[in-house]
Structure 1
Amino acid sequence: MQQPPAGPGTTTMAGANDDAPPVRSAGDAARMVWDESKRLWGIGLPIAVGMVSTYGISSVTQMFVGHLGNLPLAAASIGLSVFATFALGFLLGMGSALETLCGQAYGAGQVAMLGVYLQRSWLILLASALLMSPLFAFAEPLLLLVGQDPDVAREAARFALYILPSVFAMAVNFAAGKFLQAQSRVVVPAWIGLAALLACALLSYLLVVVLGCGMAGAALAYDAAHWVIALAQVAYIVGWCGSDRGGGWSGWSAAAFHDVGAFLRLSLESAVMLCLEIWYLGMITVLTGGLGDAQVAVDSLGICMNVNGWEGMIFIGLNAAVSVRVSNELGSGRPRAAWNAVVVVVGEALLIGLLFMALVLAFRDSFSVIFTSDDALRHAVSRIAGLLAVTMVLNSVQPVVSGVAVGGGWQGLVAYINLGCYYVFGLPLGYLLGYQLNLGVGGIWSGMLAGVALQTLILLAVVWRTDWKAEAAQASSRVQRWGGKAAATADQAKPLLLEA
């Protein structure tokens, strides 16, 4: 039987009997794009809604704090874009191991292992959250060490400590989300996210505007919203995703404590890959703090990063969707179908990025009014809006290609690519342009965008040259190695505490 070869040729060769049909004409291509788009957006749109809602919690918090003054806004910007992003990146990355393992196991029919993987991930992520706590406790000396303005560092450290409880909620939330995404159970989490966003807005108004609790009140609303998401998702998993309902939850099991070391390794690879991406743009805010007029520089960049984050949540949805599609198809032994998903998602992501670029350029002088009424700050945002527009395009393709990498289990390779492109090339270039050549915020941002562009081009080349037949075989081997007897044991074992 003829099998699909490496790279793009997989769309034109005959594969396994149950693989996607080959694309031989324009009509075949149109049908493939339509069918794959329905699958991708059926998964990706609810995930994007949930992620936009989660990110909206940060934006709502920043909006309420922003109207308290420039110094509180700078403090919240650093607290959210550096410390909260640090935690988000690491925990979301650790949880992304579930995208590979649960997705491929679900595609191969090893549903019994999903709940065990989830419990292992909860153990690892909660321990990781505990280990990160000192970073929040000692935020002020860390910020001063990297040259941050003392007043901004002091207030940012206070805010970082206020939002520490949300980190433990993220640990619960991200693992639960990946477990649900692998099974395409994405609609209920989207509604949970919307409910949490509404709760955050109402609670922020009560605490900040009505009761005058300032930054502490905004942080309390932020923490509460994250715990709403975490506890609601756990309730949904335990109550409605049991094996008797076709889900992957079979109750609490002692099998969760087995093979933790191997699971931890893949989790760490996933975390390093994603953290190197998320922390990279967060470093722009830290570097900007050493420029003249630090408050305006940090605030203008914080507003742009906030807007960029809104778009980023959409592409995190597509990232998760293509990861689910690729991992499910590889686990099912369908390499051509996996390649089709990659082609469609990259093309559609690029079109969406270009649309957002046009919107930013059209409203460059006015969109910052949402965050501030300070005229000087609004003009500062307008001056760097062009770089935000370029960022919108680059950050459309890059996340979905990373999602392909997670679906295929290539986290270790991508971590090395990220390290070289971001921290060996982009970060030093940004420092050189911003400080040595006196180009300020624009120079720092331009240099770091060059790192993103290089990383995206390399990942596209890797995807193009991938042997998808070999990836499907490797996925089958991984499922057997991680499932097999363990899966059978999990099916037969009685839950320790609770039946789903």
Structure 2
Amino acid sequence: MASASSPLLAVRNEDEEEEEEMAVSSCWVDTQRELRLVWGIAGPAILTSVFQYTLCATTQTLTGHIGTLELAAVGIQNLVVSGIAFGIMVGMGSALETLCGQAFGAKQSNMLGVYLQRSWIILLITALILTLVYIFATPILKLLGQSDDIAELAGRFSIWMIPELFAFAINFPIQKFLQAQSKVWEMAWISAGCLILHLVLSWLFIIKLGMGLVGAAITLNFSWWLLVAGQFGYVLSGYCKDSWTGFSWLAFKDLGAFFRLSVASAVMLCLEYWAFMIVIELAGLLKHPEIAVDAATICMNVEGWCFMVPLGLVAAISVRVSNELGAGNPKAAKFSVFVVTEDELVRERVSKLAYYLCASVFLGSIQPVLSGVAIGAGWQTTVAYVDLGSYYAVGLTIALLLGFTFNLGLEGIWGGVLIGVVLQTIILIIITWQTDWEKEVSLANDRVLIWGGSEVTTIQSEKV
């Protein structure tokens, strides 16, 4: 009996081993395929982010050769005044990552152009309101405790940078529109060309011709608008004929729901972005504010370059999640988720902050990917509450206590903000881990119907 069953048992074991090997092989093939899809988007998205970030970073670096005060002023303007606008514009533009990504996955490409135009309308109106921040930057910075010299020079530079604000309003929706269709290499090449020209013009105007901050403003504004022209030219060129069919009056319909999603997206990303902007602002309240601000802005510039890698992953993972949810593929969505200055004092201060910078870079490689999942799935409102509690109720409170009550200075301020980032990261990991992705597919359809407007309902009815 035993001897008769042994050959059968051996055959059964061999079959089970073969099935296991096939399952492992299939999983590996799926993983490789998903990695190619993710990095096919993330690679050029990272390059695009690096090239565009380097526009401002180059300007800031070159102004450091003019003087410590000029560097501090440009740093405050870039990271605080423009930082407010940048965070709002990127955040509100991220509504397109959800809507365009899910619509593209659901084969509703014709709606992408309408969503793009709605985003432009909302962001241009927002930019018009934000000009007040640029115009009154000097009194705002003084009210926040900045020294008079830094506040006045940063305020003057802010007024010169108003054209950049409206370039943000046009640029970021175009980026999200193209990313949703995985047209990322085109953006990378356009951004590279603009950066090369910007480097040449910045050296010429700021250093060679000695135009200082005026030259910095001219070149930075020009480069951002050249970037906008290049990307919009690509959209009009015919390569987006399915998603761009021209300007439409539909763009003015159902703006209320679209605006609410845009605001939720802006709140989510702004709370994350502004947490480190506050480090710069609080640095100006310490002793020797020029040195503290210079050191903090240099560290933030370094972190900014490092942050471009996970930021590219934000774009990739949000595109993959939104596309798969829109296409009704919850398992695929789940699989995508898991798969320099010359100042010696400033240099010395920067070296002391290196450990905090390393911690920020490490956390920055995890947290943005989770944010990308949230954008792709449409969880902006939930994450906004998480950010508010983690970054501000906890992180900022600890930062103020360590920096000023316990006199730990810039290190204490930065350390407190990092504690908030750790807490937010842990909460987002738990939320992502416990997500029911089957349920998210039906929720994604409901969100598109609510946020996308009445014409989406019409399209869905016609399909039925």
TM-score range with shorter-chain normalisation? Answer: over 0.9
1:269 paired with 2:267, answer no
Give the aligned partner of residue 386 of structure 2: 417
1:280-359 aligned at under 5 Å gives the runs 280-344=275-339
Amino acid corresponding to residue 338 of structure 1 in structure 2: A
1:162-241 aligned at under 5 Å gives the runs 162-241=160-239
Please identify runs of 4+ aligned residues in structure 1 that moved more than 6 A.
488-491
Please tell me whether the aligned partners of residues 254 and 454 of structure 2 are also in contact (alpha carbons under 8 angstroms). no
Alpha-carbon shift at residue 423 of structure 1 (Å): 1.0
Whole-Å separation in 2 of the counterparts to 1:407 and 1:483: 15
Amino acid corresponding to residue 72 of structure 2 in structure 1: A
Give the aligned partner of residue 9 of structure 2: none
Amino acid corresponding to residue 103 of structure 2 in structure 1: A
What is the CA RMSD across the aligned residues, in angstroms? 1.8
Whole-Å separation in 2 of the counterparts to 1:23 and 1:55: 46
Distance change >3 Å, CA 94–CA 331, structure 1 → 2: same
Distance change >3 Å, CA 254–CA 455, structure 1 → 2: same
From 439, 455, 460, the counterpart of 1:470: 439
Whole-Å separation in 1 of the counterparts to 2:277 and 2:453: 41
Amino acid corresponding to residue 136 of structure 1 in structure 2: Y
Alpha-carbon shift at residue 188 of structure 1 (Å): 1.0
Give the aligned partner of residue 387 of structure 1: 356
Whole-Å separation in 1 of the counterparts to 2:258 and 2:50: 29
Please tell me whether the aligned partners of residues 258 and 452 of structure 2 are also in contact (alpha carbons under 8 angstroms). no
Which has a greater percent of helix?
A: 2
Please tell me whether the aligned partners of residues 110 and 483 of structure 1 are also in contact (alpha carbons under 8 angstroms). no
Q: What CA deviation, in whole Å up to 9, does each residue of 1:243-265 have, x standing for no partner?
A: 3xxx3001111111110111101
Aligned residues: 441
Whole-Å separation in 2 of the counterparts to 1:195 and 1:86: 27
Secondary structure of 1:63's partner? helix
Alpha-carbon shift at residue 204 of structure 1 (Å): 0.7
Whole-Å separation in 1 of the counterparts to 2:238 and 2:71: 41
Give the aligned partner of residue 6 of structure 2: none
Structure label with greater radius of gyration? 2
Gaps of at least 5 residues in structure 2 are 1-19
Alpha-carbon shift at residue 483 of structure 1 (Å): 5.9
Length-normalised TM-score, structure 2: 0.92
Secondary structure of 2:328's partner? coil
Alpha-carbon shift at residue 26 of structure 1 (Å): 4.5
Secondary structure of 2:366's partner? helix
Distance change >3 Å, CA 381–CA 111, structure 1 → 2: same
Distance change >3 Å, CA 119–CA 488, structure 1 → 2: same
Shifted more, 171-180 versus 229-238: the winner is 229-238
Secondary structure of 2:66's partner? coil
Alpha-carbon shift at residue 479 of structure 1 (Å): 3.5
From 121, 127, 149, the counterpart of 2:119: 121
1:87-98 aligned at under 5 Å gives the runs 87-98=85-96
Please tell me whether the aligned partners of residues 116 and 255 of structure 1 are also in contact (alpha carbons under 8 angstroms). yes
Q: What CA deviation, in whole Å up to 9, does each residue of 1:271-309 have, x standing for no partner?
A: 111111111110100001010111111111110000000
Shifted more, 400-409 versus 143-152: the winner is 143-152
Whole-Å separation in 2 of the counterparts to 1:469 and 1:24: 26
Give the aligned partner of residue 62 of structure 1: 60
Distance change >3 Å, CA 24–CA 152, structure 1 → 2: farther
1:401 paired with 2:399, answer no
Alpha-carbon shift at residue 162 of structure 1 (Å): 1.7
